[in-house]
A and B are shown apart, each in its own frame.
Chain A
């Protein structure tokens, strides 16, 4: 299974070949024609117009822009070092950036070009594994659930809370709206209600927050207030174990 053929990304025509040649030092960046590069870019964009593979187009544009950037950097005059008392570390860095003729060294140029490309083989391997292992069903399906991450307000996820809210809403009776409540008061009351619930027992189970407001609008008000308290980092929301109760408590030391 692990020996499946590598699903490499599509090759990106002559432009990427040229970029690769640059990386290998086979082509001098100063000899790259901006006109030809842009021409090739426009031709390739026209060719792939209508292609739904945005990644492909994105890769191509990245390669083209890297090439233009390389050319631009080659044309720029080197920065002058005005600081006469440079320490060893700076001297080392200058050696890296400039060669003996005070031009951009090939190394620095290559580094810029390869920033993005370094990981492409790794990306291809991960893509292959992603495809293969998507078809492997373990006895437990733990992928979406993590056991090693403590579930806190930032990590429990809004989807968990929304799911819990749906359950509460199912039980709350609908009411006729005669007026729209004023937002600030609406939210402030909800926040006070949550604070009071937590103070009573140091922590409160999510469901218990909704014992008092029995209407749907009341439930939503308290829920919005909870989100606001999370945003203000006043409370944390955690689930001590999977499928366990969602518990809300004040942020320790907060």
Chain B
């Protein structure tokens, strides 16, 4: 398979995939190793960048997918595409705590936020941003919450590692917090 042909196939796969497609999956289909796939995808990404295209290839939730560029959002939204609603501040706050401390129970969330989180948690569950990952081995077996791949796609994150690190002060404080529990 020639380089250009392989690159075109990869572009087609990313275009046709219904969800972000990983380099591994592309490799399985094309017979190429992941490193080569990544290099070719970068080529395709550069091509879209060079051509001042309205399309870009983004790496989210561990896979590649095609998406429009944000600067054209006003035009694209005229297509009656349902634009998702922004998350409220309490929802973002709860989500941030879950993202950094997952898996986490509802009482733990409420301790940190200082308010009840039932309603916010329901909203986040409905939007599939968080899910119940199991039950804590503690009295009452409270549900443990963690983020989903939808969370990663929602915020354009390739993985949880891409979350900004908490500041040093915050880290030491987290240590204090966990010691105090």
Interface residues of A (CB under 8 A from B): 1-2, 9, 23, 55, 58, 62, 93, 96-97, 107-108, 110-111, 114-116, 118-119, 121-123, 125-127, 129-149, 155, 157, 159
Contact = CB atoms under 8 A, between A and B. Distances in A.
A2 to B, nearest CB: 7
Q: Interface residues of A: mostly helix, strand, loop or mixed?
A: helix
Given A118-B174, A119-B97, A136-B156, 10 more contacts: A9-B89, A115-B113, A116-B113, A118-B166, A122-B96, A123-B96, A139-B67, A140-B18, A143-B84, A146-B131
B8 interface: no
Nearest to A132: B70
A116 B65 contact: no
B29 interface: no
B163 to A, nearest CB: 7
B92 A127 contact: yes
Contacts of B166: 118-119, 121-122
A130 B153 CA distance: 10
B122 to A, nearest CB: 10
B128 A141 contact: no
Q: Interface residues of B: mostly helix, strand, loop or mixed?
A: helix
Contacts of B66: 138-139
A148 B156 contact: no
Contacts of B77: 135, 137
Given A119-B93, A122-B164, A129-B155, A146 B70 contact: no
21 contacts: A55-B88, A96-B176, A111-B173, A111-B177, A115-B114, A116-B112, A118-B173, A119-B97, A122-B166, A123-B93, A126-B96, A130-B92, A134-B83, A134-B86, A136-B73, A139-B15, A141-B81, A142-B19, A142-B150, A148-B148, A148-B149
**Leading 7 A-B pairs by shortest Cβ distance:** A135-B73, A146-B128, A135-B70, A55-B89, A138-B67, A129-B155, A122-B96
B114 to A, nearest CB: 6
Contacts of A131: 86
Contacts of A142: 18-19, 150, 153
B127 interface: yes
Contacts, number: 159
Interface of B: 15, 18-19, 58, 65-71, 73-74, 76-77, 81-84, 86-90, 92-93, 95-97, 99-100, 111-114, 125-128, 131, 148-150, 153-157, 163-164, 166-167, 169-170, 173-174, 176-177, 179-180
Nearest to A112: B180
Nearest to B127: A144
A139 B54 CA distance: 12
B61 to A, nearest CB: 9
Contact of A136 (B15, B70, B86, B100): B70
A58 B113 CA distance: 12
A62 B114 contact: yes
A108 B181 CA distance: 11
